[in-house]
Structures are given as C-alpha cells and as structure tokens.
Amino acid sequence: MFYKQKQNNIISYIKENVTLWFFYLRNIEFMENIEPLVIISEAIATIQDKEDLFQTIHDRLKQWYNFQLNGIINIEPETKECRIFWTGTGIPVELLTELNNSMEFKYQQLSLEPFSFDMDNPRIKRVPVVTSQPNLPPEMKRAAQIISLQQISELLYIPLLNRGQLQGFLILAFRESGSVPDDQLPLLASIGNLIAGAVINTRNYEEIAQREQLNKFQLDFTNKILAVINQPDVFLHLAYELNLQVEFELLNLVVISNTFEANLEISYLKNKQGEFKYFRIPDGIKLNRFELESYENLVQTKQKVVRLGRNEINLLPEKRENILNITNFEIASGMYIPLKSDQDGEIILFLASSHENSFSQLEIELLQHLVPQLQLILENYYAFAEINSLRSQLEQEKQSLLKEMSEKNQGDNFIAQSEAMVKVLRRVKQVAPIDTTVLIEGETGVGKELIASALHNNSTRSDGPLVKVNCAALPAQLIESELFGHEKGSFTGATDRRIGKFELANGGTIFLDEIGELPIELQSKLLRVIQEKEFERIGGHSVIRSDVRILAATNRNLEKEVEVGRFRSDLFYRLNVFLIEIPPLRQRRTDIPGFVGFFTSKYCRRIGKPAMQVRESDLLKLMEYQWPGNIRELEHTIERAIVISQGPYLDLSDFRPASHLVKTENQLIRFKSLKDLEAEHILQALELTSGRVSGEKGAAKLLGINGKTLDSKMRKLGIRREILVKIETPHGIED
C-alpha cells in the first residue's frame, strides 16, 4: 500500500513537473522568438534617417542570421518606383556602391520572372541565384553579376507589410541555400512587419525634412535670383543656383513667339572646369513653332516638369547634330519645363545632360516645386527689363524735349531774319520779365506756342510750371473741369477729385491757346480769375486762390468776335493788355531758308540720316509758295522730304503746291505800278464824266479830290484833256 501510494505520488509529481517542463520549454521557445523582435523594435523605434535604419537592421539581423548581403526594396507609394538599398560587410565598398547606384526599377517588374511575386498577397519567397538570368531586366543584370561574384546562392525576400499594404521587401542573401529553416519564416515575417512601420516612419521624417529643405531652398533661391534680377548676367546666376541642386550641363531658355519663330534668348554650357559659359546658337537651328508642337504632343502637359530620355531627345536629330557640332556636347537626357503658355507666346526652360541617367525623381520633384519661383523670376525679369526700357525711353524723351525746348526757347535760336519777326522778338524781350497778361495773335502754324514758351522762360516765373491748355481741343462740357477742377461726385462720372489747370499753374504761367474758342458762359469765370485771382472747383464750396500769369493766343480777330457777340468785350480788354502779332510766313520770306536749314538738321538727326543739302531751285520754289499752313506746314513738308530722300540732297518731288498759291515770274511781269494804276483810274473817271475835270459833274468830284489837284496829276501822268468819244452808227460802234 505504501509503495502504491508513493508510486502514485511519484507519477503525480512527474506529471506536474512534465507540465511545468513543457510550459518552460514552450516559454523558452517563445522567448527565443520574441527576443529578436524586441531587440529590433527597440533599435529602430526612434531612427529617422533611412540609411541609419537599414544599417541598424543589418547589424541586428546579423546576430541571428549568417547572411552576406542585406537589401531592402523600398516602394514609393505614389510613383510605385522601386529602389534597392544594399548593406553588407563581406563585400568590397566599391561593389556595394555600384550596387546602390544601379538598382532602380518599376514596381510591375516584381510580378515578372524571375521574381514572380503575387503582389496582391505577398509571401516570403526563396529565389535561387543563377549565373544566367535571361528574363532579368537590363538595369538588374550588373547587380546580378556582382551578387554572383560574392558566391550568393539564395535570396530570401520577406514582404514588408503595414496594415496589409506592401511597403517593400527585406532581402537576405546567403551563400548556402536553406540557411534559414522554414520554421523561422514566421519570425522573419514579423520582423518584416516591424521594419515596414519603421520604413514608413523614416519616409515621413524624410518627407518632412525634404519639405523643410525645399521650402528653405525655394526661399533662398528666389531671394538670390531676385537680388540679381536687374543684372545682365541674371541667367548665369540662375544656371549656377539650379546646378547646386540639379546636375546638368546645358541651360537653354527658349522664347517662342506667335509669328512661328523661336527666339533662343539665352544658352549656357558647362565646361570641364565646372564653369557655365555663354554660347549663341545660330538662327538656323533654333526651335520653330512646328518643332515646339512636336514636344508638346510628346509631353502632353502644361506647367509641368517632364524628363526627356534619349529617344525623346532624338525627336529633333538635326538640332542635336548641329548643337553637337557647335559645342561638342551631345545631349543624352533633358528636362522640359514650360514656364509660360498664353496668347502672347511660350517660354520654355530646357536643362540637358550628356548622361542618360541624369535627373532623378527627387530632382524632378524639386524642379516641379520651383516652377512658380521660376515663373515669378521671369515675370520680374521682364518687368524690370520693361521698366528699365521705359525709364531709358522716358529719359531719352526728356533729354530730347529739354534740348528741343532749349533750342526753341533761346532767343538766339529764333529764325528771325525778316524785319517783321525782329520786331516780334523785340516785343517779347520787352514784356517777358514783366508780369503782364499777353495776347498773341497770328494765323495757325506761325508759332504762337513757341512765343508763349519764350515769354515764360524769360520771366521771373521760369522756375514755376508752364501749363498749356488748348481750348479748341476740349469738349465744351469738359473745359470748365479742365480749367478749374471738380470735386468728387459733383456730376455723373466725377469719381475722384480733379485738380484744375489754374491750380496746377500756381506760381507759374498758364497758356490758353485758341482762346477765341472758349464758350461764352465760361468767359465770365475766366474774367473773375484774371481780376480776382480766385475760383471754385465744380461742386466745391471753398475759394481757391491761384497766382498765375496768363498768356492767351488766338488765330481769330477778337475785335470782330466782340462785335458779333461771340466774345466778351470786358474779357477782351483784360487779355489785350499787351498784344504780340506774329506775321504769317508769306510776309517773312527771308526767314524760309533759315527754317529749311533748321528743320533739315533736326529731322535728319531724329530719323538717323546724314545731313542733307537743299538745291537752290527747290529753295526758290519754297520761297515762292504762300504757305497757308505757315511754319507748321513748312516743317511737315521738310520732314516728309527727308523720309523719302535717298541721296545727299533734299527730295522735294512730292511738293506740288496749288498754282494760285505760288508767286511766278509772269505775275511779276504783269504786276502794275501805283503810277500805272493811278493813271488808269483817272482815265476811267474822265471817261465817265465825258472829259469834264472840275465842277459838280467833273472827274475831280468823282475821285474826291480838288479840281486843281486833278489837273496837276494829269499833267504829271501825261494825260491830255482830249478823250475818245464812242459814236453808235447803224454799222456798229466807231471811234
């Protein structure tokens, strides 16, 4: 009984301990499986750099598995591009570097031979390494050779899954097949899932870092280029700044106009020393509109960065060959970056390299983000160029106007050979320094505005403004607003306050040209300004004082305008304080040669032609013309002649004045003297009075002179008292 009980106790003890033993043995197995997971998890949990992550994975896995190479296939979630990152201590560094530089391929390649992965349900897979891989993609053949040289016999592919999404594969390369038994594969699958989460974390960290770096680069890049945007070599700076981030050798900025012609604005090529040098592509090999459309059809995109491989570059073989001949540079890959595409034309930035594998996906993304900055830079560049052009143009116009006005306003430069014009200049000199209102009369085109400028420039107000108003050029309803200004909302369309000409001319001179055209209702307001030196804006309630000198000009006879009621007499007397009458050109013919010389020199210089001479016969023709348009007509005649002239002499073949406006030699021959005209007039009077000289019905009475005076004149002129008497007969009239 005792032994039986003891036996039962022993059996019970053994059972209990066996259970504990089996539990202990199972825990040992679990601990052995969990240890790599814990160690790897702790090691990779906080790693942010991808290369550090892959090296750490290699070092930790090496504790449990005897592999020679470790690789990770990283699958980009958006582009589905694949890249293998290799690590290993038993392989020469140069071969490892070559492996990492060559292993890029498409996602779909993993489903083809020799991999044949089920991409929808990926599992751990053993892939034997053979020396001949006929189905291997070209980009992987060099990598296969390197792996074979390391005597690798088997590659173990472990999928990296995160929440069921494939992130890539972990690759372990062994020299002996079956180095990892099948019962270890579940552990490797768990390790793969841990690595997948870490890959996503490093990818997120990398994306954040890249975004921060990109934002900083965009800001620095924009600031650097905008700092030199106004310099001639701005595109050279652009080439250097872009080349810091993207490796290329040729920068081309192409401008395509809508006239089916390409204008290659700038080209820079990098030499062997790494310096960009400007070169000019001949016109014959610039892109034309047809070729541009070929590129557009190829890339089928707008405002995007497109990589062009050798096949796309070969689309224009003649262009490539010509560029090669000129620069000894053969384009193997390029970046096509449209920066502008609208009705005005297109602008394309083209970067090129002599290497086929240039322009990585990262560089493409970088350039894609730079497109707005590049557009901004170009807009600013052309804006600065336009501003500079306008500034230069305005400065040239200013200098030209100052020179022209200086020539016009200096008394020595007035054309005044005639006595009539000398008298005018004498009156200008008399009245210019005195603050007196001046009325300038003369036909259209005689130079009334020039006289007004001379009066202002030689007055005490020459430092103040000279404001000119053409009363004939403004609608009647706008003249008051133009002269006196208006307040906002004072009438329909008055959206802003307007300062009138009288207010602008304060402290200077106002020149009212064609004053005779001023409406009668405004003449009273003008009279008040002249008398009181004050006015109100339209819609305004405050009185504005303006200290101006008034110069007025007209081609009308204001005295006659007053008589017919078209001009206020009180305003006429206020304006007609000092009258300057400018004679028409037909009354100052001796000034014509001087004007011809002045205008010929002026327009030859302006048009860019050499100085011309005037034939004497043409000059006589100009002097015989009556010039109804006066100096303005003469100026336009000379300008037109210079435009059509080809030789050293002024071509006046287009000058064909009407015959009634030309003084001819025949007219001079037929022109009668006062003596002849007086004799004819007396004879006509004697004929009407039947030869009677004095008395109530005599010729003296008819002529309005004394009979004795008439008798004396007749003796002087040789007129006898006898006259012919006409007698009417049946056969006609006989003397």
Contacts with 436 (C-beta within 8 Å, 6 or more apart), sequence order: 549, 577, 578
* Most distant CA atoms of the chain, gap in Å: 207
**Predicted confidence band at 578 (pLDDT cuts at 50, 70, 90)?**
very high
| Residue 26 binned pLDDT confidence (cut-offs 50, 70, 90) | very low
Amino acid letter for position 544: I
2: pLDDT strictly greater than 50? no
Backbone angles phi, psi at 543, to 5 degrees: -85, 130
Instruction: Please give the pLDDT value at position 266.
Output: 76
With 90 as the cut, is the pLDDT of residue 80 above it?
no
Contact between 71 and 87 under an 8 Å Cβ cutoff? The reply is yes
Same domain, 246 and 113: no
Of 536, 567, 583, the residue at which a domain comes to its end is 583
CATH number, domain of 604, equals 1.10.8.60
- Are residues 235 and 369 located together in one domain of the fold? yes
Nearest to 152 by CA among 129, 179, 181: 129
Domain count, the chain: 5
Mean pLDDT of 578-593: 90
Same domain, 571 and 676: no
Pair type for strands 509-513 and 466-470: parallel
- Maximum average pLDDT range among 209-218, 240-249, 660-669: 240-249
Residue 672's pLDDT is 61
- Between 435 and 143, where is the model more confident? 435
Q: Which run of H or E residues covers position 473? A: none
Determine the average pLDDT of the residues in 110-138: 79
Q: SS3 of 7, please?
A: helix
Name the more confident of 293 and 622: 622
Return d(Cα 622, Cα 657) in angstroms, integer: 9
299-313, 446-460, 664-678: range with lowest mean pLDDT: 664-678
Q: What is the pLDDT of residue 671?
A: 53
Mean pLDDT value across residues 370-380: 76
Query: Is the pLDDT reported for residue 399 higher than 70?
Result: no
Say whether both 676 and 658 belong to one domain: no
Structure tokens at 344: 């005005």
Placement of tokens 């001009």 in the chain: 567
Name the least confident of 95-109, 654-668, 697-711: 654-668
Residue with token string 């841990």: 194
| Residue 553: count of CB within 10 angstroms of its CB | 26
Q: Indicate the Cα dihedral angle 11, 15, 20, 25, nearest 10°.
A: 110
> What share of the chain in percent tops pLDDT 90?
7
Residue 6 lies in a domain: no
Check residue 580 and give its pLDDT: 93
Q: Are 329 and 271 a contacting pair, CB within 8 Å?
A: no
Tell me whether residue 558 is exposed, middle or buried, using C-beta atoms within 10 angstroms of its C-beta: 0 to 12, 13 to 18, 19 or more: buried
- Where residue 366 sits, what CATH number does that domain have? 3.30.450.40
Q: What does the block give as tokens for 146?
A: 């390197």
Q: Detail the DSSP E strand segments found in 316-445.
A: 333-342, 345-353, 438-441
Confidence of residue 378 (pLDDT cuts 50, 70, 90): confident
Query: Residue 631's closest CA among 372, 430, 424?
Result: 424
Q: Tell me: pLDDT of 411 over 50.
A: no
User: What tokens appear for 185 in the block?
Assistant: 């594969």
Residue 213 inside a domain? The answer is no
Least confident of 309-313, 321-325, 525-529, 606-610: 321-325
Same domain, 119 and 261: no
Please indicate, yes or no, if residue 544 is contained in any of the structural domains: yes
**Tokens read off for 485:** 């200004």
pLDDT single digits (tens) 485-522: 888 777 777 777 778 888 888 888 999 999 988 888 88
364 and 279 assigned to the same domain: yes
359 and 470: one domain? Answer: no
pLDDT at position 31 is 47
CATH number at residue 458: 3.40.50.300
Please tell me whether residue 727 adopts helix, strand or coil conformation: strand
Beta bridge pairs of residue 306: 336
- CATH at residue 692: 1.10.10
Q: Is residue 382 domain-shared with residue 465, that is, in the same domain?
A: no
> Residue 508: helix, strand or coil by DSSP?
coil
Mean pLDDT across the chain, nearest whole number? 77
Q: Are residues 49 and 160 in the same domain?
A: yes
pLDDT band, very low/low/confident/very high, at 579 (cuts 50, 70, 90): very high
pLDDT of residue 395: 57
Looking at the chain, the whole-number percentage of residues with pLDDT higher than 70 is 76
| Residue 68's pLDDT band (cuts 50, 70, 90) | confident
3-state secondary structure of 688: helix
For residue range 6-22, what is the model confidence (pLDDT) as tens digits?
A: 445 444 434 444 443 34
Q: Which of 148, 172, 207 is the last residue of a domain?
A: 207
Residue 221 lies in a domain: no
Three-state secondary structure of 230-268: CCCCHHHHHHHHHHCCCCCCEEEEEEECCCCCEEEEEEE
Which of 525-529, 593-597, 632-636 shows the lowest mean pLDDT across its residues? 525-529
* pLDDT score recorded for residue 439: 94
Q: What are the residues facing 485 on neighbouring strands? A: 499
The predicted structure's pLDDT at residue 583: 92
Buried b (16+ CB within 10 A) or exposed e, 464-479: bbbbbbebeebeeeeb
Q: Which range in 24-33, 325-334, 534-543 is most confidently predicted, on average pLDDT?
A: 534-543
Across 140-154, 337-351, 559-573, least confident range: 337-351
| pLDDT band at residue 321 under the 50/70/90 scheme | low
Q: What is the pLDDT of residues 549-572, one digit of tens each?
A: 999 999 988 888 888 888 999 999
Answer whether residue 10 is part of any domain. no
- Give Cα separations from 297 to 257, 302, 351, 370, 684 (angstroms): 18, 11, 19, 23, 98
Which structural domain range is residue 371 located in?
228-386
Average pLDDT over every residue of 88-96: 78
d(CA 538, CA 541): 9
Sign of the dihedral through C-alpha 296, 300, 303, 308: negative
3-state secondary structure of 349: strand
pTM recorded for the entire structure: 0.40
Q: What is the pLDDT of residue 703?
A: 83
User: Is there a single domain that holds both residue 446 and residue 372?
Assistant: no
Among 151, 131, 150, which residue's Cα sits nearest to residue 141?
131
The reported pLDDT for the residue numbered 148 is 81
Examine residue 505 and state whether it is found in any structural domain, yes or no.
yes
Contact call for residues 230 and 388 (beta carbons, < 8 A):
yes
The band of 29, judged by pLDDT with boundaries at 50, 70 and 90, is very low
Q: In this predicted structure, what is the pLDDT of residue 342?
A: 67
In this structure, the answer to whether residues 59 and 201 fall within a common structural domain is yes
Q: What is the mean pLDDT of residues 606-625?
A: 87
CA proximity to 239, closest of 271, 213, 214: 271
Q: Residue 577: what pLDDT?
A: 92
Q: H or E stretch including 506? A: none
Q: How far apart are the first and last CA of the chain?
A: 205
Same domain for 313 and 243? yes
- Of 155, 174, 207, the residue at which a domain comes to its end is 207
Residue 166 reports pLDDT greater than 80: yes
40 within a domain of the structure (yes/no):
no
pLDDT at 438: 94
